[in-house]
Structure 1
């Protein structure tokens, strides 16, 4: 038994977004982002109980509508099929689900017993007319997320595999939850979710107390607790049913439609999907409130749910987290017939069922090892003209760089690309093997080695590009740090396409520090690198040690190929804790990284007239190329890194 939706304490925006999509699944689903323990999953699971029941052809594995029978549905082919009413399907898509389990596949039983090809429905068929729920959607395989969002947008699932080519209706309410601390979604995936809600745990003591009180009562006696809230549940269910009937009659004036598009333009929202989602959401808000006409406040509430995740924060001068700015924009674009100010409704003024319950430049002269330097913190610096790139190759690679993107066709991981005949397969393609036997002889059902097939899998591997940057006062550290920041942001612009992640370690003073954990999120990088401290000595050994730890932590759970970019003059003067020779420790740690087959690039930033040449020795220890930049800017650094990571 699930916790009653009406008993949720607080979280008005979350409840509102879920109810809106329950009334109008065409909005495009909801993505709920928040920390652990913020009722994300509880709210989603409780929603199904208050949604009106559905009708389907009795026994249909595709949940076929009575007026939309499906040719491949066995129940629909019966001459005496009947209609049955069932609770809204709630389908949980596990992270480990395979593509054939999600989309559907060849029914092996049909091949073996009936000697004919037919579709075995997947989870998308089971979710038709219901809810498809994905917990931790940000951890789901990219190809599955892409397929899911395509189906959710089209309302049709097309299966073209194993000799099948079948399409069936798959209209469902897509709900995903995620903890941003565990990784982000690609922007193109994020845009496909109609609404996004960010939730946090309540900070009010009274509210937190009520959450615990209700939860303990539910766990002690779930049935009694459910009966206590049955009245609220029925009222909410009736409200949803009424809103669905009212929705087709809701009117949105042309002036308000212009207001929607102008608001999206003013907030630098590029995707036209935003305008469409706002249109649908505003009309659904009116229907949920029992009105036939959309108001400016409906536009305001729709903007808060549909625009924040689509806004280009880098270029926008306003942010939707600033509600005052949103009100100003709305007032500026208010149609003439709405001459009064658009007063925002508080959360408590939403429909009653929504609010039930309460849930300094450097001279280039290196400092003395015994003289501590003052540290500085700087923000953005203006970029400089692109300088000349001078390369000084120290060694030639004898193999393909580990950081180069590749196709993994010799592994049992990845997506199934095709099946090939193989008398001794290591990854048996069951379907192709059975098909081969069946097609060879339908009467004599025997398997021979000639029937065996090997699964060929493929999957792009991304790079982990880790910058290790000298932020000490031994050179013009401030401009170097800013160049790296610009390079990181540039790389992240297409990191989503290449499946790459980028991180940054800075070392100064007595230790190294992870300024940016490996990420694909441009916004996260901008926030983490907003202020970049510099100054102090050069703890190069600790930087290499920390780089090894970060690479190990990041790559042990995936297929990312590490690529280390070290910017330093090689003048290590701070040993690891416990003492020792800093330079010898540096060479030792660099050798260990090379033995781990970690590709690397060393950028010599020594600006002294008499160079010590330590970066060349360091590059040899790392097994890396060593390049010298005449001058440093984000543009030249980006071009240099890309030429190494993406040589083709």
Structure 2
């Protein structure tokens, strides 16, 4: 977990970096590490009585509890660790109006929320990828402005909200919104070590902590105190660290080589490089500091679409650093600590720690010695992993698994000025090597929605009554009131004031007067893909166009915060490729690996969809489904296949789930079987060419999908590949005319 510890400690040294996002599999102590960081942060001074933790040396002039006296009473307290639950209410996050005082005393009183409590401390969001969109919007606003603005129920409040944002997530449960992802300064991938010695030591320490928590903490108290002192020393050294023009050129060269968007990557990398130099006890930023900072700041900023896995080609990183040095070989800033922990050939020195070099005492970032052991202060029990256990497994050192065969990055350097628009599909020559194996269409899907108004989880697809959105009315609350509809509450109480003896003063209210607001917004749906993968789809080489269209629909589902599930039918039956999940990335991966061939068991596919919907309705009753059946309508498996398909369609229709049939039939002779299926399902019918808002000619390629699926980069614009299949080209031409 070296990368994770280093990223957290660099933010402890310089909170201006912008926080850390920790991605990784479950059971890797992500939350444990983040919670332990708070104890290592230096204590903060605050003005006594200020609910917003104002700094006595520089109090906020706009603090709601101000103005503060010139010489306020000061108290010192540990840095705050505030946890933001995934299911937190908006009022609890930003604060709310004190309704009791407002209605009983006629005064506007503001109760601060979690963002105020986290000011000058650490805000931790576990499972940040599951955070509701309205809470993400609040975090984005506070992270961008450093302030929390509250405008609600007649209250207008603004207070400082600068905090160290740390989030943990399991990518299997869905990805993070790009806007919030970019707000995290650094990101790291973690995975459990596959070395048995390391795993044994983890279990041994966990059992020891469970048996004697106080004694276990006491054994490690000196080590914690040493790290806390090192953080404090690095903070004091931070202002003296020199960031030379040579180091800035290296940062710019690296960011340009990886073609990241905007300038935030350059700024974050510069801040992280300065913090790393201060952490290592140096007062000048060197090439190794830039390299470590880029490894942590750039992986999540070079993603081009939701299905790109974050990562960084370290060969390209070294090439960019060498290119910057070669362009300015006689720079006076070079040579003074600029090589950091790198050897003369650009590789790691024998005494350099993993990704962080060695500290002043010869230990690495986590306290381990270069020989694979640990510093005396960090091993009070004399135990711990052996040399091979601590550093023998490259995956355990970096927190990343070895890359599977066929997904290794090419490492080919790219000219710094090359833009991603140099290829028709927007892909650089080497970009597909580390990405998910799916065809990149770059197409935008048309919006399909569920009819009516639901009451599901907030999202961006179908109309629903949610906690956010425009107010459409008021109602008597069935249980605990939600958002107060103040005018309706006053109107309900007004006729009874004389009976209640009110002559003047505050309005006299009773619980029966309270009305809650009815708001209409958007909800996320369960989008179920039922995909025909039979031979009738693959024989005409249409699966390239089908996969591209479904990929566009998956991208749309990702952007609209839907859950997705994938069922494929071919041969003798149907298979659930992916149960209902928020991980659209997993759905795209299963789609890419989808084989084709065999007969068309259409009835089995429809029945499998009905079964999955019944199960999901029990698990998540408020989330409305939307079924997308992608087929040409043929049914060839079993006896009397068309009649069986009609009966299966009736079963699926009885679930009440709205359906859309995407008709993949093409060619001059049309049987219109998909349209017939749509009639039996009472579903909307759309030709494949109408699913996207742009023509499908970009998906017209010669190679058959076969059983391997498509790799990223196998699709080209029409007319730039040879042997283009005329039938798929006709599909694209039809889409072009319809557009």
TM-score range, shorter chain: 0.7 to 0.9
Give the deviation of 1:241 after TM superposition. 0.8
In structure 1, the partner of 2:463 is: 407
In structure 2, the partner of 1:389 is: none
Report the Cα distance in structure 1 between the residues aligned to 2:365 and 2:533, rounded to whole angstroms.
Answer: 52
Give the deviation of 1:121 after TM superposition. 0.6
Deviations 1:511-560 (A, max 9, x none): 32344666777755554343441111112222112333445566753865
Give the deviation of 1:468 after TM superposition. 2.4
1:507 is the counterpart of 2:559: no
Deviations 1:311-338 (A, max 9, x none): 1357999984432332223222335344
Give the deviation of 1:107 after TM superposition. 2.2
Give the deviation of 1:637 after TM superposition. 6.4
Distance 1:557-1:301 versus aligned 2 partners, 3 A rule? farther
Distance 1:159-1:606 versus aligned 2 partners, 3 A rule? closer
Moved more, 479-488 or 464-473: 464-473
2:186 pairs, out of 151, 172, 195, with 195
Tell me the SS of whatever aligns to 1:479: coil
Distance 1:135-1:504 versus aligned 2 partners, 3 A rule? same
Report the Cα distance in structure 2 between the residues aligned to 1:398 and 1:524, rounded to whole angstroms.
Answer: 24
Distance 1:518-1:46 versus aligned 2 partners, 3 A rule? same
Tell me the SS of whatever aligns to 1:46: helix
Moved more, 57-66 or 432-441: 432-441
Deviations 1:386-433 (A, max 9, x none): xxxxxxxxxxx9976999944324xxx432655966678885644737
Report the Cα distance in structure 2 between the residues aligned to 1:494 and 1:458, rounded to whole angstroms.
Answer: 21
Report the Cα distance in structure 2 between the residues aligned to 1:229 and 1:203, rounded to whole angstroms.
Answer: 25
* Greater relative contact order (Cα < 8 A, sep 6+): 1
Distance 1:208-1:243 versus aligned 2 partners, 3 A rule? same
In structure 1, the partner of 2:53 is: 63
**1:130-279 correspondence runs (5 A):** 130-279=121-270
Give the deviation of 1:261 after TM superposition. 2.2
Distance 1:139-1:616 versus aligned 2 partners, 3 A rule? same
Report the Cα distance in structure 2 between the residues aligned to 1:430 and 1:404, rounded to whole angstroms.
Answer: 24
Check whether the contact 1:423–1:449 (CA below 8 A) recurs between aligned residues.
no
Check whether the contact 2:525–2:563 (CA below 8 A) recurs between aligned residues.
yes
1:14 is the counterpart of 2:67: no
Give the deviation of 1:27 after TM superposition. 1.1
2:486 pairs, out of 429, 432, 442, with 432
Distance 1:398-1:330 versus aligned 2 partners, 3 A rule? closer
1:82 pairs, out of 73, 76, 88, with 73
Give the deviation of 1:353 after TM superposition. 6.5
**1:345-424 correspondence runs (5 A):** 345-347=352-354, 349-351=357-359, 352=363, 354-356=365-367, 405-409=461-465, 413-415=466-468, 417-418=470-471
In structure 2, the partner of 1:596 is: 655
Deviations 1:612-632 (A, max 9, x none): 654343222111244556999
Report the Cα distance in structure 2 between the residues aligned to 1:381 and 1:78, rounded to whole angstroms.
Answer: 63
Give the deviation of 1:565 after TM superposition. 2.9
Give the deviation of 1:443 after TM superposition. 1.6
Deviations 1:420-467 (A, max 9, x none): 666788856447379949999872441279964331223312354443
Deviations 1:335-356 (A, max 9, x none): 5344855444441734336223
Give the deviation of 1:203 after TM superposition. 1.1
Report the Cα distance in structure 1 between the residues aligned to 2:475 and 2:697, rounded to whole angstroms.
Answer: 45
User: What number of residue pairs does the alignment pair up?
Assistant: 595
Distance 1:104-1:544 versus aligned 2 partners, 3 A rule? same
**1:491-570 correspondence runs (5 A):** 491-500=553-562, 504-515=566-577, 524=586, 527-551=589-613, 557=620, 561-570=624-633
Report the Cα distance in structure 2 between the residues aligned to 1:612 and 1:69, rounded to whole angstroms.
Answer: 72
Tell me the SS of whatever aligns to 2:284: coil
In structure 2, the partner of 1:365 is: none
Check whether the contact 2:116–2:161 (CA below 8 A) recurs between aligned residues.
yes
In structure 1, the partner of 2:23 is: 33
Give the deviation of 1:55 after TM superposition. 0.9
Distance 1:497-1:210 versus aligned 2 partners, 3 A rule? closer
Moved more, 425-434 or 529-538: 425-434
Report the Cα distance in structure 1 between the residues aligned to 2:151 and 2:305, rounded to whole angstroms.
Answer: 40
Give the deviation of 1:475 after TM superposition. 4.6
Check whether the contact 1:483–1:633 (CA below 8 A) recurs between aligned residues.
no
Give the deviation of 1:583 after TM superposition. 3.5
Deviations 1:182-235 (A, max 9, x none): 121122221111111111011111111111111111111111111111111111
Tell me the SS of whatever aligns to 2:522: coil
Report the Cα distance in structure 1 between the residues aligned to 2:305 and 2:71, rounded to whole angstroms.
Answer: 61
Distance 1:477-1:513 versus aligned 2 partners, 3 A rule? farther
In structure 2, the partner of 1:93 is: 84
Report the Cα distance in structure 2 between the residues aligned to 1:196 and 1:431, rounded to whole angstroms.
Answer: 42
Give the deviation of 1:84 after TM superposition. 0.8
In structure 1, the partner of 2:318 is: 327
Deviations 1:580-606 (A, max 9, x none): 754443222212222333222334445
Report the Cα distance in structure 1 between the residues aligned to 2:269 and 2:534, rounded to whole angstroms.
Answer: 49
Distance 1:568-1:292 versus aligned 2 partners, 3 A rule? same
2:112 pairs, out of 121, 127, 132, with 121
Moved more, 418-427 or 557-566: 418-427
Tell me the SS of whatever aligns to 2:162: coil
Gaps of 5+ in 1: 1-10, 360-378, 386-396
Give the deviation of 1:19 after TM superposition. 0.7
Could you state the TM-score of these two structures normalised by the residue count of structure 1?
0.80
Deviations 1:348-374 (A, max 9, x none): 734336223668xxxxxxxxxxxxxxx
Give the deviation of 1:302 after TM superposition. 1.0
Tell me the SS of whatever aligns to 1:565: strand
Report the Cα distance in structure 2 between the residues aligned to 1:614 and 1:425, rounded to whole angstroms.
Answer: 48
Report the Cα distance in structure 1 between the residues aligned to 2:672 and 2:151, rounded to whole angstroms.
Answer: 59
Check whether the contact 1:421–1:450 (CA below 8 A) recurs between aligned residues.
no
Report the Cα distance in structure 2 between the residues aligned to 1:111 and 1:524, rounded to whole angstroms.
Answer: 49
1:294 is the counterpart of 2:285: yes
Check whether the contact 2:298–2:312 (CA below 8 A) recurs between aligned residues.
no
Report the Cα distance in structure 2 between the residues aligned to 1:632 and 1:131, rounded to whole angstroms.
Answer: 45
Give the deviation of 1:126 after TM superposition. 0.8
Report the Cα distance in structure 1 between the residues aligned to 2:347 and 2:87, rounded to whole angstroms.
Answer: 47
In structure 2, the partner of 1:370 is: none
